Amino acid sequence: MNSNGWKVVDASLVVLAGRNPDFRVVVRGGFAGGNRVVRQRIESDYLPLASLNGILKFEQVPNVQIHRLQLRVP
């Protein structure tokens, strides 16, 4: 997805959270060490508005292997 697509996703998450105060986006991964860069990139490059508004929640999963960054809806 290009940067304009991520801007739309970011803005949409903020709107959803505005309508539902309990709405959160949970990002699961191993954010210690080198994977901390992934977290910083999500917060600053992909979803900065959601991050600033406290919508993003990061959940550390031990021994995870991140093969690629992808947006998934369970």
pTM of the predicted protein model: 0.70
Q: Is residue 65 part of a domain?
A: no
Tokens representing 12 are: 């949409």
* 4-18 tens-digit pLDDT: 889 999 999 999 999
- Considering the domain boundaries, does residue 69 fall inside one? no
Within a domain: residue 56? Answer: yes
Domains identified in the chain, total number? 1
Q: How far apart are CA 7 and CA 48, in angstroms?
A: 9
Q: Is 47 part of a structural domain of the chain? A: yes
- What DSSP line would sit under 2-51, residue for residue? -HHHHHHHHHHHHHHHHH-TT--EEEEE--SGGGHHHHHHIIIII-HHHH
Domain hosting 55: range is 3-60
38 contacts 2 by C-beta, under 8 angstroms? no
C-alpha 74/C-alpha 61 separation (Å) is 17
Whether residue 70 is contained in a domain is answered as no
- Span 45-63, pLDDT tens digits: 999 999 999 999 888 777 6
Of residues 4 and 1, the one with the higher pLDDT is 4
